[in-house]
Amino acid sequence: MTIKKYLSAIVLLSVAAAINAQETDTMPTRRIPVDPFVVQPMPLPESKSAEVTVDPYTSRQQINPSFNKPVDFLDNLDISGYYRFIANYREMKTVYSHLEANKNNLFVGDDSQIPQLMLNLKGYAGSNTFFGTDFFMWTPLTGAGQVENVKGLNLGISLYGSFTTALGNFTVRTGGINWYAMSPFTFQTNKGYNRYSLFERNPWDPQTAKVESRYSEFYTSGAINQDQRWGNQAFHGLIIEGAQLPNNFSFSALVGKTQFDGGMAALPNTSAGGRLQKSYKGENGWIAINTFNNESLVDSLKSVKAGFNMVTAEWKHQFKHFKIYSELGTGKKFASGYNGDWGEALSVKVTGDILKKFSTEFHLYRVSPNVFNNSSIFINSSIQQTVQSNNSQTQPVLIPVSSAVLPIGQLSNNRQGIEINSQINFGRLKNSVGYAISGEMEALSPSITYTHAFNNLALSRFWRWDFPSGVGPYANLNKIYRSVFETVRMSELDASGKPLYKKYFNTIELNSKYKTKLGTKEMYLFYLGSFNSVQNFASPGVVFGEKALLRAYYHQAESYLKLNPNLVLTTYASVERILGNYNTQTDTETRRPKNQTGYSIATGIDLQMGKGVGLYIRERWMKYFDSSFVNDRYQGFETTVELKAFF
């Protein structure tokens, strides 16, 4: 039996098992860990007592044991975790040259570098002191032998302490990896506007109590359950927080290291920051001052230092009919022998209802090309990153220094613009609409970068484990975590290699959701569209003609059909078009600019196999080609089988 037939048999058997499964619509909501990868504080332990209860999943009576003599050590411990099996089979008809000898590939394990088995151990050393750590098993099966079984710390040991005093409440976190956020310009990641595809699963997606909950929640609220990392940055070090202080003050202070400044490198580096906030008029408003800074040694001789400084002020106030949020700050980059100028960073958001019906946000922003902070919501497109020496085979995961086509909500330095986001509903048809216009402040970058949204994850699997730059048939692809971006150079440059003009960007995004029934079965229909253009002149809207330097159009349609309480059938289709004009690089043979087309058709199932256990299967057909750059093309199938269990 071939691998493809074997996987097909698994799908058929899973569907048959689901159809014969018992109805579980009355199943109560199960408490699922918010983030299986991060140790979470646990409730204070309670004394045990014997009682008879009914397991809501099996309807069986069970007796909770009691002890004549309390075992305090066990009472104070809690063990939870997850197991995740994932296999990926790729069968390609046409592929990039580096995979010609490996067109058919079966991979067992997670190329996202997430452990297959994770155990979280947590407990209380006292009434105010919480501790936690994790144990994991990770089998990459790369063929490297014993050396691959040693990965070192995954998240490490974390220690939490909470203390209540007459002055206020204080919390201390230290060690491990803590997911944390202060303000958008100092220490935070972009949360976006909940316009994304749900078809492709992430390693950190939770296991919901009902198999269709992920899609019903996205339709109802416009969002899905996210783990603790959503909007937060990874921080290793010491974090101290104070709340409910006199005069409605609160604060936070942190010192340690981040993933982008130092990471796993052995060279000394320090990131430090803090926040002081004062609330007024109850919960209606607050003001805050924030700072985040880094200093790193770049070379092993400890002779070169590099880093940045960032200071901001925030204000948030809820008026009667609208809310305003603003952050104003300044920042700079420095290195040995170079001390950059300070630059401004401004963000103002006004949110309210138009005609008392359409919730709308207006966002005005401006980020100077002198401002640098790779732990903030804006990416770096103007200052070349200075990185530490790294002896590992994997390069640092860094955002490209280039003019990037970005989703709405993702900011960049050396850019200013306005964004409008609105929720417009018509009965059961719900629409999230975004409009953005922006422009560069200085003509600095000779390149434009963009992603292939429809097939980004499948494309990233062409290069497993590492994050290489300058790969692909034309050495213009760069892989970052679970994603690939492409770079195209402009042709009109001055003698120093800089562009002759500034670039302007326009984007329209639409996420439409509709709930209906196919016969008696609930069905959800989602559409995600994105229309983008980059040009050398300002325009009030997306430029659809050849005057644009680059045009990028993405269409993704998804459906989710609930066949029974344990089974959801998923389908997916997408089309992508990327077009460049003759002011961007052309192929040496065809002498034509970028003309890329991509298709993808996929299907799959979500199967609830039991309490906290789910099986997810995805089968994708994909085809992509550039009619100008003839070596840039691939076509084939990809099958992914994922089994996830929480306990």
SS3 at position 306: strand
Question: What CA–CA distance (Å, rounded) separates 447 from 470?
Answer: 14
355 compared with 341, residue with greater pLDDT:
341
Average the pLDDT over 470-479 and give the result: 91
pLDDT at res. 387: 53
For residue 102, what are the CA distances in angstroms to 59, 99, 463? 50, 5, 12
Stretch among 34-43, 391-400, 425-434, 594-603 having the lowest mean pLDDT: 34-43
Residue 232 near residue 346, CB atoms below 8 Å: no
Question: What CA–CA distance (Å, rounded) separates 391 from 474?
Answer: 27
Mean pLDDT rounded to a whole number for the chain: 82
pLDDT at 36 over 70: no
Question: What CA–CA distance (Å, rounded) separates 406 from 550?
Answer: 13
| Number of domains observed in the structure of the chain | 1
Average the pLDDT over 4-19 and give the result: 44
Residue 309 near residue 331, CB atoms below 8 Å: yes
Q: pLDDT band at residue 530, thresholds of 50, 70 and 90?
A: very high
pLDDT at 20 over 50: no
pLDDT at res. 227: 61
Closest by alpha carbon to 632, among 579, 596, 600?
A: 596
pLDDT at res. 216: 93
Average the pLDDT over 290-317 and give the result: 87
Length of the chain (residues): 647
Residue 452 near residue 479, CB atoms below 8 Å: no
Burial class of residue 450, CB neighbours in 10 A (0-12, 13-18, 19+) = buried
pLDDT at res. 132: 73
Joined together, the tokens standing for residue 511 give 């996420």
Query: What is the pTM (predicted TM-score) of this model?
Result: 0.83
pLDDT at 265 over 80: no
Q: pLDDT band at residue 540, thresholds of 50, 70 and 90?
A: very high
Average the pLDDT over 445-469 and give the result: 87
Residue 289 near residue 276, CB atoms below 8 Å: yes
pLDDT at res. 296: 84
Closest by alpha carbon to 277, among 307, 251, 258, 243?
A: 251
Q: What single letter denotes the amino acid at residue 411?
A: L
pLDDT at res. 291: 98
Question: What CA–CA distance (Å, rounded) separates 311 from 292?
Answer: 7
Average the pLDDT over 49-60 and give the result: 37
Share of the chain above pLDDT 90, in %: 53
SS3 content of the chain, % helix, strand, coil (to 5): 10, 50, 45
Stretch among 46-50, 335-339, 533-537, 542-546 having the lowest mean pLDDT: 46-50
Q: pLDDT band at residue 11, thresholds of 50, 70 and 90?
A: very low
Average the pLDDT over 140-159 and give the result: 58
pLDDT in tens, 392-423: 434 444 455 689 999 999 999 999 999 999 99
Q: pLDDT band at residue 226, thresholds of 50, 70 and 90?
A: low
pLDDT in tens, 58-99: 333 333 334 344 445 556 788 888 888 889 999 999 999 999
pLDDT at res. 7: 46
Q: Where are the beta strands (DSSP E) in 336-406?
A: 338-339, 343-354, 358-367, 378-379, 403-404
pLDDT at res. 263: 57
pLDDT at 163 over 80: yes
- Strand-pairing partners, residue 593, are none
pLDDT at res. 567: 96
pLDDT at res. 153: 44
- Strand-pairing partners, residue 129, are 161
CATH number for the domain harbouring residue 456: 2.40.170
Domain span holding position 494: 3-646
For residue 360, what are the CA distances in angstroms to 322, 417, 428, 430, 470? 10, 17, 19, 14, 41
pLDDT at res. 24: 35
Residue 137 near residue 148, CB atoms below 8 Å: no
pLDDT at res. 141: 59
Stretch among 34-38, 499-503, 615-619, 624-628 having the lowest mean pLDDT: 34-38
pLDDT at res. 148: 58
Stretch among 84-93, 262-271, 535-544, 568-577 having the lowest mean pLDDT: 262-271
| Geometric angle at alpha carbon 12, from 8 and 18, rounded to 5° | 145
pLDDT in tens, 172-199: 988 778 889 999 999 998 888 889 899 9
Q: pLDDT band at residue 386, thresholds of 50, 70 and 90?
A: low
